[in-house]
Amino acid sequence: MATTDRQATTLALAHALSAAERGLAVLPLSGTKLPALRSPHRDDPTSVPASAPCHGECGGMGHGVYDASTDPSRIRELFAAAPWATGYGIACGLPPHHLIGIDLDTKTGTDSSAALRELALRHLFTIPETVVVLTPSGGRHLWLTGPPDAVVPNSASRLAPGIDIRGAGGYLVGPGSRTEHGVYATAPGTAHLTPAPCPPPLLRLLLPPPRTHRSALPAPAEHGQGLIHFVLAAHEGQRNTRLFWAACRAHENGLGSALTDPLVEAAVQTGLTEREARATVASAARMTGWRG
């Protein structure tokens, strides 16, 4: 490993241990922002039934966000097993903070900060002073806390275009992490702050709507047809983005399994390869915390 890589790993571990002292559970990340350790079940997926995926019960490492810990010894063990790690992730939804991440993205070409301000005006809340992390792409991560009994799901652009939510089962890239695109850093004037409580009106927007009893509908239902048409209408340069958005909505509405093949077929008709389309749908499933 190059000297700069060793320095990045050492620095990432130091930042991770500092975050753990504040009660934040952490795990090592690679330069791609993904968990640095591979699943111990990857070479033998039949060792764990799909209906009951292993979240670390086997005692091994490599279970993604479920590896996250506040124990310094465990954190050092994780980083020792992943000497290529150059960053760290902070697990959301865990006590004592029950962290909620508001990811204001800039890559979609939309003004996500303006969209959040509009939501605040419309629903009568203000974003409190809190920890803000600046991303290499120019985006921002706002750290908020939720009540112990609120399970906020992960979502992508459900709240508004360009606003992704990191909740239970998700993680945020920690400040000080070095990725392929640059370094994550705490915004000036916010490093000393503690994550602020999420305003109740915003929390209501983040929580999934209560389930209502309804008769079974054949899949894909009307909403599913709309998502398929949305993908079919994609022009070059929009195909992956539209497919990802539609797949996220499908999983959030319980139509993920029924719509996977129809969405992939629609994307192939717009010019994507089947392999690209299935990878995008799988990414949407992970983003929304869906478990098949």
The count of structural domains within the chain is 3
Whether 254 is covered by a domain: the verdict is yes
Whether 49 is covered by a domain: the verdict is yes
Q: What is the pLDDT of residue 40?
A: 83
User: What count of Cα atoms within 13 Å lies in the side-chain half-sphere of residue 15?
Assistant: 26
The dihedral through the CA atoms of 251, 152, 85, 70 has a sign that is negative
Whether 292 is covered by a domain: the verdict is no
Whether 215 is covered by a domain: the verdict is no
Whether 217 is covered by a domain: the verdict is no
Share of the chain above pLDDT 70, in %: 87
Share of the chain above pLDDT 90, in %: 51
Token pair listed for 122 = 């419309």
Q: What is the pLDDT of residue 215?
A: 45
Whether 166 is covered by a domain: the verdict is yes
For 134-155, letters b (16+ CB in 10 Å) and e give: bbeeebbbbbbbbeeebebbbb
pLDDT in tens, 70-103: 999 999 999 999 999 999 999 999 999 999 999 9
CB contact set of 121 (below 8 Å; sequence gap of 6+)? none
Say if CB 269 and CB 282 are below 8 A apart: no
Whether 73 is covered by a domain: the verdict is yes
Whether 1 is covered by a domain: the verdict is yes
Taking CA atoms, 151 is separated from 27, 133, 148, 169, 289, in Å, by 21, 23, 8, 10, 12
Token pair listed for 136 = 């290499």
pLDDT in tens, 188-239: 999 999 999 999 999 999 987 765 544 444 444 455 787 888 888 877 767 7
pLDDT in tens, 230-283: 888 877 767 777 888 888 888 877 787 888 888 998 888 888 888 888 988 887
CA atoms of 25 and 22, how far apart (whole Å): 9
The dihedral through the CA atoms of 50, 54, 55, 61 has a sign that is negative
Whole-structure pTM value: 0.71
For 203-242, letters b (16+ CB in 10 Å) and e give: bebbeeeeeeeeeeeeebbeebeebbebbeebeeeebbeb
203 with 230, same domain? no
For residues 113-136, average pLDDT: 94
Which domain, by its residues, includes 146? 96-170+179-210
3-state class (DSSP) for residue 15:
helix
231 with 282, same domain? yes
**Helices of type H across the chain:** 3-21, 72-81, 112-123, 200-206, 222-232, 239-252, 256-270, 274-287
Q: What is the pLDDT of residue 3?
A: 54
243 with 145, same domain? no
For 40-61, letters b (16+ CB in 10 Å) and e give: bbeeeeeebeeeeebebeeeeb
189 with 253, same domain? no
Q: What is the pLDDT of residue 29?
A: 97
CA atoms of 179 and 68, how far apart (whole Å): 19
